[in-house]
Structure 1
């Protein structure tokens, strides 16, 4: 694709192979990355504005998100649909479910809903779709959003979070000065993500953002925590094996992030969004036939606005 061609909403250049390796590495841990867990807690707080009691919740790539426990507490009678298309990660999740077999028996006795591991969502199966800190690292964002749309019932709600353009912005001049290429892709902003939702068929998208400032005492600690979040997914990133000398050079360069308080700092921009799956629109022709059931559904939908 050339720079002169129009890109679909939310399109971004992501190294798909690197994204796959990153997801597999992060999913191998029994816990989601530290930042993902914090964002999941903030997303759960936002669910209070969504007046839904879903019978099924679609969790997109739950190994990354860290919101499973909170979703179960909020919706104990809701079936949790774990959506994971990658066979390698799915095998890890299957082992996790088997380890929790006795707990699942206890949940059944208490009347709690089960967990189902799926490769693609059944059409209209869920009333709530949940994706935490996944979308920014997805190479084919339009396809992922369409999958969420397909899995939602009409009037179901999508809630998601991801990184925004100001994330790790302080690293860019450092990497440019050292000739290391970009430290991260150009993350998609919330307006383009809203357009992506509309393009996929969602209605009434609501987007907002939050900025965090994270600090560390040493560049070693900073690098450790960044690795725990993933890796560099920019296609134009510096290639090749890293040497000990390169690492030492990076550690020295990161000292420029140290502020008056003596700590190194990086910015994080979090983007939150939610949207609803509307009633399907009827195609207008010279003569349009509408069933009584369709008319009733349209009237009910109009009465809710």
Structure 2
């Protein structure tokens, strides 16, 4: 495995960016939910050079790291200027109707309340604003869940997440999945990656120390050299919410005989 802590974020930022090729919409303001080593911001700035960015993450040190990355190279210095950063949890309210795109790369894993977070994302977008995100799916970590007791696993499958999007502020949600297989040569790297990505948090184990001891014992017996991770790719459009008793009227041209 790479010793770069954002290796997975980097890979998924490239994949998610490639999906924007078919999008005709050119965002003017992009909210980044998750400071992923500045990889997503770099991709989006290259595609949308006139866009302004604001960045949110619950980990202040990750915001600081992203800001530091923008000091390397002339292009990054130019495109990375004046990006407002905010250290806050996924449920903390974002500015209302603030952006026309919201982009989140593996940050939803830190949300305590998934529906509330999706509603928060929706209200932060302008009319017909675009949401693009990556997340971990329910088929992640089968090798680990066969070894330790994790009855309250927090990750959901793509159909559940798609339904949540539809019921919490978005329409036309499109979800698809991919499987990644990560190879490990030492237990310390595996432990770091599980914690850094939030996957360990998603296991929601009752006794963390005991769980780590169990995994270490399994590792010493030759298990866990390869870990499977399911990745969800999702995008959707902000749903227009009308005041009570108001409806959209649509007029269609009359066909002449």
**TM-score, length of structure 1 as denominator length:** 0.66
For structure 1, which runs of at least 5 residues remain unmatched after alignment? 1-30, 176-180, 258-263, 301-305
Closer, same or farther in 2 for the Cα pair 1:266/1:142, shift >3 Å? same
Structure 1 contact 65–131 (Cα < 8 Å) conserved: no
Structure 2 contact 110–198 (Cα < 8 Å) conserved: no
Structure 1 contact 78–113 (Cα < 8 Å) conserved: no
For structure 2, which runs of at least 5 residues remain unmatched after alignment? 253-257
Query: Distance between the aligned counterparts of 1:173 and 1:106, measured in 2?
Result: 46
Residue from 153, 156, 163 that aligns with 2:126 = 153
Query: Distance between the aligned counterparts of 1:94 and 1:187, measured in 2?
Result: 28
Q: CA RMSD in A?
A: 3.5
Q: Residues 6-50 of structure 1: CA distance to partner in whole angstroms, max 9, x if unpaired?
A: xxxxxxxxxxxxxxxxxxxxxxxxx76221211111111111122
Q: Residues 96-133 of structure 1: CA distance to partner in whole angstroms, max 9, x if unpaired?
A: 6488579699628xxx8742224653321211100111
Q: Residues 274-293 of structure 1: CA distance to partner in whole angstroms, max 9, x if unpaired?
A: 00013333533xxx6x8xxx
Closer, same or farther in 2 for the Cα pair 1:210/1:246, shift >3 Å? closer
Name the structure 1 match of 2:238: 277
Residue from 56, 59, 69 that aligns with 1:83 = 56
Closer, same or farther in 2 for the Cα pair 1:65/1:168, shift >3 Å? farther
SS of the aligned residue for 2:217 comes to helix
Query: Distance between the aligned counterparts of 1:34 and 1:105, measured in 2?
Result: 19
- After superposition, residues 1-305 of structure 1 pair within 5 angstroms as 33-63=6-36, 66-84=39-57, 86=58, 89-90=59-60, 93=63, 97=67, 107=78, 114-118=82-86, 120-175=93-148, 181-182=149-150, 185-219=153-187, 221-230=189-198, 232-233=200-201, 234-240=203-209, 248-253=216-221, 255-257=222-224, 264-281=225-242, 283-284=244-245
Q: Residues 225-272 of structure 1: CA distance to partner in whole angstroms, max 9, x if unpaired?
A: 4344345223433244789x767524224x135xxxxxx322111111
Query: Distance between the aligned counterparts of 1:238 and 1:65, measured in 2?
Result: 34
Report which of the two structures shows the higher radius of gyration computed on alpha carbons: 1
**TM-score, length of structure 2 as denominator length:** 0.77
Higher helix share: 1
Matched residues, number: 242
Task: Using the TM superposition, give the Cα deviation of residue 76 of structure 1 relative to its aligned residue in structure 2, in angstroms.
Answer: 1.1
Task: Using the TM superposition, give the Cα deviation of residue 68 of structure 1 relative to its aligned residue in structure 2, in angstroms.
Answer: 1.4
Structure 2 contact 35–62 (Cα < 8 Å) conserved: no
Higher strand share: 2
Closer, same or farther in 2 for the Cα pair 1:237/1:64, shift >3 Å? farther
SS of the aligned residue for 2:146 comes to helix
